[in-house]
Structures are given as structure tokens and as C-alpha cells.
A and B are shown apart, each in its own frame.
Chain A
Amino acid sequence: MTLPIFTGWSDKMKKNRYCIAFLILIVLTGVFLALNVCAGSVSIPFTDVLKILGGQKVDSTSADIVMQIRFPRALAAAILGGGLALSGYLLQTFFHNPIAGPFILGISSGAKLVVALVMVLLLGSAIHISSMVMITAAFVGAMISMGFVLLMSRLMDQMSMLIVSGVMIGYICSAITDFIVTFADDADIVNLHNWSKGSFSGITWENVRVMAVVIFAASFCVFLMSKPISAYQMGESYARNMGLNVQLFRGLLVFFSSVLSACVTAFAGPVSFVGIAVPHLVKNLFQTSKPILMIPASFLGGAVFCLFCDLLARVVFAPTELSISTVTAVFGAPVVIFIMIHRKKEKAE
């Protein structure tokens, strides 16, 4: 009877690993949040930041920078990064494909296109655009792209072709968006131009509130779905035999992954590679693919990854800012290449 003891021991090892991994992610989130608030073209000492947050009097420029610019921006990077990673995780689950993600499948670009259209139309008539309008527009765009991708997945068995068609849809949407942005020569369009390249700048507290509500609510719902997701990982046939309503479940996966990536796109534009790289890195950190762990871990991982990338985007060539996708691509694309090589190897074995 050494066996149960042995497995008990290894279960304990695993639990320890999970705890440590979560601890690492939480600490990193905290550290990067602090760094993102402190660092920049004007660096503000951490003690001052604490004073400002505590409501003590510090010089007003610093207070404004922290409270009006950096703090909401850092929060947005964390929340949107989490949402994006989670959206990627859901899409990978849905397509049983490790390199599926909202950006690569063209879903972000679809959202971007509709948001750009709505912005140009409404800016022209000088109507204030609320966060909810943006999210709704992005969601419509995301669903349109998603519809195309689903149609493609019906027509093509090969997963690699699905990715290629997603990338093509992305290019088409981006081309149309660029066209719109180029010919809409309003002063406000400068902002639109930045946004369409992907950026966390210009986030207001109102934005943060709305995105927090939407993304936290969606993420919570996704977390509640962790059990059916674990069934779906075994393939549709087995999932069905386990009593899962596959049709409904697939619908929910599409819905939530679209909501999450739409919300991100509405505020930060298309952000590349986070959706693929983060779930993969997190899976390796935890050495498991259990949804109940992967969902919160991907969220935290996405937050850390985006905070880190946004920090670099702001600081490396300060005061010039890089677009966020430039930085995420530098760190995310190698991960994708690694996954593909690794998969090829496994197949060859």
C-alpha cells in the first residue's frame, strides 16, 4: 500500500507548486503596478505615491500625474491584460489549438474596425462617446469576425488554415480601419490613430470603472464555467458523454471570449500576442491545464505581462511612447514560435 501514500505526496507537491505560482503572480502584479505608477518621464518616489494615495498633500503636479494619468493607466493595463489573456485561453480551448487568440484570429481587428467606424461617425457629429457605446461597437465587430472564423472552421478541417484565415480577416479589417483613419482628418483623429495601433494611454477613471465592471463580471462567469471547460478539454464526444450540453457551452465560450476581447479593444485597441503567450507561459509555470487554476492564473499573468510591456512602452524611449503591440510582440511572438516547434516535435515523436 505504498501507492496511495506516494500519490498523496505528489498531490501535496502540486499544491505547493500552485500556491507558490499564485504568490509569484500576485507579487509581480503588485510590483509592476507600483513601478508603472512611479516610473516614467518624471519619476515619482514610491513614498510620494503612497502619500498621494493616502490623501496627503504632495506637490500638485505629481499628484495629478499619479491620480489622473498613471494610476488609471496602470489599472487599465492590469485589467485589460487579464481580460485579454483569458479571452485567448477561451479561444484556445474552443478550437483545441494552442495558438488561437483574439488578435491572431482577427477578432481584435474586427472590433477595432467597428469602433473606428463608430468613432468617426460620432466624432463628426460631436456626440460624446461613452465607454459603453465603445464596448458595444467593439463587441459587434468582434462577433462579426468571430462569425467569419467559425464559418471558416466549418469549411476547413485543418487548424493551421483556420489561423491563416483569421490572420487574413485581421489584415482586411486593419486595412479598412487604416483607410477610415487616414481620410477622417479631424483633430481628434490623432487620438484614434494612436488607439488603432494599440495603446493604454488616455484612460480615464470612468473608463476604468466600466472596464472593471465588464471584465470582472465576464471573468467571474468564465470561472464558474471551469468545470465544463475541463470536460470540453477531453474532446466534444467525451464531453457530451459526461453530460455537457456542448452546443450551449460552445455558444457561451464564443460569447465570453468576444466580450473580453471586445472590451480590451474598445479601450486599448488591438493588443497582439498576449492572448496566446500568457496562457502558455502560465500553463508551464503551473505545470497543469486545469481550468480552475488556469482561469485565475491567466488573468493574473495577463495583468503582469501587460503591466510589464506598458512599462517598457513608456520608459524605454521616453518621452516617445511605443505602441503596446510593439512591445507585446517582441515578448509574445517568440513564445508562439516556441509552441509551434514544440508541437511539431511532439507530433514527430
Chain B
Amino acid sequence: MKEEFYFYTEGFTVGYHGVPLIKNIEIRLKKGEILTLIGPNGAGKTTILKSIIRQLAPIGGVVYLDGSNMHELSGRELSKKMSVVLTERVRPEMMTCKDVVATGRYPYTGKFGVLSRDDHRIVMESMELVHIAELADRDFSKTSDGQKQRVMLARAICQEPDMIVLDEPTSFLDIKYKLEFLSIIQKMSRSKNLSVIMSLHELELAERIADKIVCVKGDKVDRFGTPEEIFTPGYIPKLYQMTTGSYDELSGNLELEPVKGTPKVFVLAGAGTGTTVYRRLQREGIPFATGILWENDLDYPSAKALASEIISLKPFQPVEDAVLEHAKELIDFCQQVICTVDVGMYKDANQGLRELYDYAMQKHNM
């Protein structure tokens, strides 16, 4: 059974100076799979990665790579199986991007490290794979962070490994480069059947790219599984011990702390029109109520996170009278009503909604 895993650990315990930090890590990864480490700052994601790439001596347990104990491999053998992209900034002097990428050929070159024709070809291919061929002759120190990171990825690729380990590769990249970078990784892992282990800060990206996720918390791996198994309702705030704000696992919706108190404003919203208004009210410190929203409405996650009162219905349910009455009471109670929905849309909408709209119009002379 275990043979099909390219990389797996048994009772792997890591830490510094003989003091265990995270105990009994059990991770299994097949070829071509992407594994992502998530968890709060200082939880030890980097410590685990450092131990996996043998920068840190493990305190206990065994790591198997391609069927053999990884810690018995020679440096050279390991370097042909595993390459890395680290957070450590490299500041090479007077090296072109191509020179930096070419350092990935190190395990394959001869005594003096002279590149063969084949090596040159592989270097250029790797650069084309990450779309940086045009940077080949550019001075590495004069490139942007996004470009540097891709150069380091090309370097890792041209080492021709079976597995790449990346420590927070997207941290210094803007949103465009984040997506571009992860897309390249996904493409690589599919086309080259490459296993990838990386730590990510961006939960929504981790959820999208990872085949397997490891949640690191306290002195152990709290959860290990597929994104569906990890992103269950309520788990992420628990993992990160979030005390302010909220995170919705399904929509990835992230909100700040709601304003508490009796609602002063009623927001008639729906179909994603209300979210920006909710957030503005939150910024201005005004407690509000909103409705009527079905739980499958686009506005629902942010409404649930921010509204002090919310009138909601299970998906596809008709508006019952009791609910309508309750909504009217709230409208009476609030000093102001904001309608974010296009009036025309309400005209053809469900009977109950139109009634509520008309009621609000009357009441507050909108």
C-alpha cells in the first residue's frame, strides 16, 4: 500500500537543538500531487520544511523518499530528487538570471561545473516553462521580486527533481504574480508528474491548488487531508485561533469584526448587491440589519459575518408571513432603510419581497 506514495513520513518529529517542536508528523504524498502546509505564524511550517529538505536534523522518525530513507541518501543523490525554493534572499553578484538558473544543474555537471550543450538546453527550457526566457541575460540583482521568484523556480525545475519544496513562495508577490506563480506550479506538477510541498499563507489559494493540506498547530499536525476534509465550517477560525473577524470556508469570505448593537439601518439586499454596503457600514461603525436573504444568496456570507440581525431563509424556500412580519418590524425599528437592489428586479421578484419593498418605501418615504 505504502509503495505508491512517493514521499511519506513515519513518526517524524522536528525541532531545534534536540528540543521537539512538532511531533509525530505523518504526511503521505504521491507523485504529481501538491501538498500545502497551512497554519498560524510561528506554528512551525518552516521548521517542518527545513527538516524535510535536510537543513535541520530531525529529532525522530523517518522520512521516505522514492522508497528509501531520505536521511541515508548522499547530498548528491538527494539533490537529483529534490530541489528547493526558499525564503532566503539570494544576492549573487554579477550573475545573469540564466547564470542563477544554471546553478540548478550543479548535481549533473563535472568537476569544474562547466555546462554541457544539454545543460544549456535544459536551462533554457526551464526558463521558457516559467516564462522568463527573455530575462536570460538580465542581471539577476536588477529584476523585480516577482521575476526573482520565478527565476528561483526555474532554477529548481532545471535541477530535474521529482519533488520541489517551496517555503512561502508567494509571500512577496502581488496578486497577479501569485496566480501566475501557482499556475506554473500546477502545470509543472501535472506535466512533469512532479510532487510539490509548499507552505502558503493564502488560505484561498491553498484550498484551490492543493491536493493535500497539512494543518500545523501547536506541537502537532492538527489535520491532514484533502481540501474538502480541511475546509469544513468553523475549522479555519479554530486553526488560527481567530478571535476577531470571521472566515467563511466555503466562499473564502473574510470579514472584520462586526459592529455590535441594535440595528440602526436596514439594508434591503440580495444577489451580491449588499456586500459593499455592509462593509461600508462596518467601517463607519453603524450596526445594521439586512434581509430578506436566502442562504444561497451571494450576500449571505458577508451578511452573516457583519449584520447584527439578519432575516434569512433556507435555500429555495418561499417567504412565509411570519418572516415578512418580522422584517417589517425591523424596518419600523430602524431609522433608515437602504435598498441596494435594482427596483426593476424587485418588481418581477417574489411576492413577499415586493411587498416588503413597497412597505419600506411607504414607511421611510423613499
Contacts and interface: CB of A to CB of B under 8 A. Distances in A.
A125 interface: no
A243 B141 contact: no
Nearest to B113: A227
Interface in A62-112: 96, 98
B79 A243 contact: yes
A205 B119 CA distance: 47
A242 B141 contact: no
A234 B90 CA distance: 6
A292 B113 contact: yes
Interface string A254-280: 000000000000000000000000000
Nearest to B89: A235
A237 B85 CA distance: 10
A19 interface: no
B79 A241 contact: yes
Contacts of A230: 103, 106, 113
B286 interface: no
Interface stretch (A3-11, A35-43, A126-134): A3-11
Contacts of B136: 3, 7
Main SS class of interface, A? helix
B84 interface: yes
A289 B75 contact: no
A283 B113 CA distance: 19
B276 to A, nearest CB: 38
Interface in A1-55: 3-4, 6-7, 10
- Contact count band on A: 20 to 34
Given A237-B86, A238-B86, A288 B94 contact: yes
A347 B304 CA distance: 47
B113 A237 contact: no
B112 A241 contact: no
A226 interface: yes
B75 A244 contact: yes
Interface string A226-256: 1100110111011011111100000000000
Contacts of B93: 98, 233, 283, 289
Contacts of A290: 99
B325 interface: no
B128 to A, nearest CB: 8
A230 B92 CA distance: 10
Most buried by B among A227, A234, A245, A287: A234
A17 B300 CA distance: 66
A172 to B, nearest CB: 32
Given A7-B98, A226-B112, A234-B103, A241 B53 contact: yes
B106 A231 contact: yes
Nearest to B104: A242
Nearest to A92: B93
A243 B124 contact: no
B17 interface: no
Contacts of A241: 53, 55, 78-79, 82-84
Given A10-B137, A231-B106, A346-B141, A289 B95 contact: yes
6 contacts: A224-B111, A234-B103, A238-B103, A240-B54, A241-B55, A241-B78
Interface of B: 53-55, 74-79, 82-84, 86, 88, 90-95, 98-100, 103, 106-107, 109, 111-114, 124, 133-134, 136-137, 141, 159
Interface of A: 3-4, 6-7, 10, 96, 98, 224, 226-227, 230-231, 233-235, 237-238, 240-245, 283, 287-290, 292, 346
Given A243-B74, A288-B99, 10 more contacts: A7-B124, A7-B137, A230-B103, A238-B88, A241-B82, A241-B83, A242-B75, A242-B103, A283-B94, A289-B95
The list of the 3 closest CB pairs from A to B, nearest first, reads A243-B75, A227-B113, A243-B79
